[in-house]
Structure 1
């Protein structure tokens, strides 16, 4: 595979969105298929930032969505998911992931946050819970706590969300596939995929971006 990325996949998601977790196996398939030739870039998108009202996890609408949409897709994609008993804010979770990125632990923390919420029902809006999760991933909890208290990464979360607004993102998961142009040529326009798109949609987008075939490096 290419030693430098030739395909870029930018994904906006929220740790409290079940369909965002359901998209992670598809992203894993992309990474496994294309290796270093693809660069996955995750971005923050809070579905319910302050002061937006939080959902009631015990509502009939949530239960129906899980029974009819979430659980069937989870079974199809090989994920174990349980309806969480809490509906937290996700900003601190995003700040935790961004802290982890600087120490090269983003991927493991990113996955651990999703699993903690959707498999164990942990309140990922709680700072102590975030410190515990991060510590199991090799992150210094004292340094993380200081960063969360000081809001060191708050602006980065907001920047991600402001960029999403400029792109017209109103829901997640939302992915944008793009590539650089050949020397002296304009690259093809980026392709957006909305919702928990299957791998076939990504493959079709890649074929459009690379009509002569994806370079193997």
Structure 2
């Protein structure tokens, strides 16, 4: 059994990131004699997003210069992509883009307790399916507890900013490596940008395994 590490650079408010993750899971199912270890790395789509966030549709229209109709079409594509992969996107007119710096600190804390993947997935679901504010301290603490992290410790980590510097350093590291958009999968020596189809991801993983 060969082992391949897939480094996934992503943000928890990036819809194509959860689509990409689900497609990666589909890719893994097709592989024989290859064990895949997924490592998550932080990226903020909107590092300057204010604490209160911004209306999602308004944000997308401003950021990408698209119309309300184009925004609605984009949402419909995402909902369809999610349905195909068993993930529910529940967009509403009140959906908000959030600051995710605290969420990335929580994921780092979870990683130290071997709950990184569980925490990441719980944040995706909280934001996209349940419409929760993943920048709110009480929400984050509740989500941390739901995956098995100690509630008081999680709260202390977030209030103190214990991992703020290390998360910021890691974000900067990936930016310096040229990653400008997410999701980006780093598989072996290859960087694969975007929510690629399962067959494409499987091919990159198989190639990385054969080069070991």
Tell me the TM-score normalised to structure 1 length: 0.82
Within the candidate set 70, 74, 84, 1:65 is matched to: 74
2:171 maps to 161
Secondary structure at the residue paired with 1:123?
A: coil
Gap runs ≥5 in structure 2 = 59-67
Aligned counterparts of 1:15 and 1:115: Cα–Cα separation in 2: 9
1:39 maps to 37
> If you compute each CA radius of gyration, which structure gives the higher value, 1 or 2?
1
Structure 1, 9-18 or 33-42: larger mean CA deviation = 33-42
Within the candidate set 151, 174, 184, 1:174 is matched to: 184
1:184 maps to none
Aligned counterparts of 1:49 and 1:210: Cα–Cα separation in 2: 35
Q: 1:83 to 1:101 in 2, by over 3 A?
A: same
Note the C-alpha offset of 1:73.
1.3
Aligned counterparts of 1:96 and 1:107: Cα–Cα separation in 2: 12
Structure 1, 91-100 or 80-89: larger mean CA deviation = 80-89
Q: 1:142 to 1:91 in 2, by over 3 A?
A: same
Note the C-alpha offset of 1:211.
5.0
1:17 maps to 14
2:203 maps to 204
Aligned counterparts of 2:146 and 2:33: Cα–Cα separation in 1: 26
* 1:149 aligns to 2:149 (yes or no): no
Moved >6 Å (runs of 4+): none
Structure that is richer in helix per residue: 2
* 1:109 aligns to 2:107 (yes or no): no
Note the C-alpha offset of 1:55.
5.2
1:185 maps to none
Structure 1, 128-137 or 55-64: larger mean CA deviation = 55-64
1:128 maps to 138
Aligned counterparts of 1:83 and 1:34: Cα–Cα separation in 2: 37
Aligned counterparts of 2:12 and 2:135: Cα–Cα separation in 1: 10
Note the C-alpha offset of 1:51.
5.5
Q: 1:171 to 1:52 in 2, by over 3 A?
A: farther
Secondary structure at the residue paired with 2:120?
A: helix
Q: 1:177 to 1:56 in 2, by over 3 A?
A: same
Structure 1, 91-100 or 157-166: larger mean CA deviation = 157-166
Gap runs ≥5 in structure 1 = 179-189
2:98 maps to 88
Tell me the TM-score normalised to structure 2 length: 0.83
Give the aligned length: 198
Aligned counterparts of 1:55 and 1:200: Cα–Cα separation in 2: 36
